[in-house]
Amino acid sequence: MELIGQLERDQIVFPRLGIDINVNETAFTIFGLEIKWYGLLITVGLMLAMIYGFSHMKKYGIDPDRALDAIIGGIVGGLVGARAYYVIMSWDNYKDDFWSVFNIRNGGLAIYGGIIGAIVVGGIIARLRKVKLLPLLDIVSIGFLLGQGIGRWGNFANQEAFGCNTDWLFGMSGGEIQRWIVRNSDTATVSAGNTLNASMPVHPCFLYESIWCLLGFVLLAIFAKKIRKFDGQILLMYIGWYGLERFFVEGLRTDSLMIGSLRVSQALAAVCVIASVILLIVFSLKVKRMGTEYQLYVNTPESKELIRLSEEKRRKNQQGDTISEAEDAVLSAEENGEDPDSSNDAADPSPAENETVTEESADDDPAENTEKNDTEE
């Protein structure tokens, strides 16, 4: 295995590929605030995932306008969940400095915590907004893979999420990687039979996961377009696809979150793969037995009507047409599955009220009218 000399802090090398570059963890500075590659790439991945998701939502029977609140809530829940998961599993590193819990600019987000947080918070808001959760999670799952595939390159800039030593073609090293190995050689998570030497290349685990996620994004997008059979199918495939990769790659990593001698993410990945395969088989057989009785949500009258109402409302707004309060109330009530008549009752006065107003206007006191005429004369 090729030995590597002492590298500069920002220097990153792939010896067998002949690559030797310098990458600063700070992308640029604005008004004295350093913008890190880690946060920037996660944001780029998130934005591209949202663009893809919103442009395909109608193909899953989801109204993008109604889903917006759930997506925003899911993003917030994902960030909180990812950080909470990481901090809980690494509490010894934060217990003496509480405010460091909120500093995520240099890393410290756990993907499984992010997925859990996004699904829980986004799911609650989707229920409140009357958005069908399973088809929404199908499209979101494909976006997850795109976002993860891009966001993992933030680990590259930070020189983190690497594995044990390797002499494989894509083995890499870096100045910060070497320093981390020297500082943490006694506590690093190295599986039996593997080594961790600062003078040798290591597995670029971030690269393996990035390639796997981007490949999964392409495959699941094609599958969803061609042969998706039931709502929730893409979500289960995502869980299995990502879990399969994470199970093997996690075994290579040197910074795994541990409970005793158990790699938490590796164990969770195994559970995800097994559970997703079982559920895919069970639901596939159930849908097959149901035959034409089962419909994807996108093909249901409810989905088509909600999207029609949303497009009608958007079209009027874009054309600058004036929508009366009564019309707006009716459209909103229909979108929410409520009785439009109740909205009309609230927006327009009843005939009895109109008659009362008319009678009051007609029954002015004749004496008062005479006095007014005398005054005017």
**Distance between start and end Cα atoms, the chain:** 115
In a structure prediction context, what are the per-residue pLDDT tens digits for the chain, which is 377 residues long? 668 889 999 999 999 999 999 999 999 999 889 999 998 999 999 999 999 999 999 999 999 998 999 999 999 999 999 999 888 888 877 877 878 788 776 667 888 899 999 999 999 999 999 899 999 999 999 999 999 999 999 999 999 999 999 999 999 999 999 999 999 988 899 988 899 999 999 999 999 999 999 999 999 999 999 999 999 999 999 999 999 999 999 999 999 888 888 999 999 999 999 999 999 999 999 999 999 999 999 999 999 998 888 888 878 777 765 555 555 555 555 555 555 555 444 444 444 444 444 444 444 444 444 444 444 43
Name 76's Cβ contacts closer than 8 Å, sequence gap at least 6.
Answer: 121
The maximal CA–CA distance of the chain, rounded, in angstroms, is 115
At residue 320, the pLDDT reads 65
At residue 50, the pLDDT reads 95
Domains of the chain, by residue range, sit at: 11-293, 299-376
At residue 373, the pLDDT reads 44
Q: With beta carbons less than 8 A apart as the criterion, state whether 180 and 61 touch.
A: no
Name 191's Cβ contacts closer than 8 Å, sequence gap at least 6.
Answer: 164, 251, 252
- 161 dihedral zone (left: phi>0; alpha: psi -120 to 50; beta): left
Q: With beta carbons less than 8 A apart as the criterion, state whether 70 and 131 touch.
A: yes
Q: With beta carbons less than 8 A apart as the criterion, state whether 282 and 289 touch.
A: no
At residue 313, the pLDDT reads 81
DSSP alpha helix (H) spans, 297-350: 301-318, 325-335, 340-347
pTM: 0.82
Name 303's Cβ contacts closer than 8 Å, sequence gap at least 6.
Answer: 61, 62, 132, 297
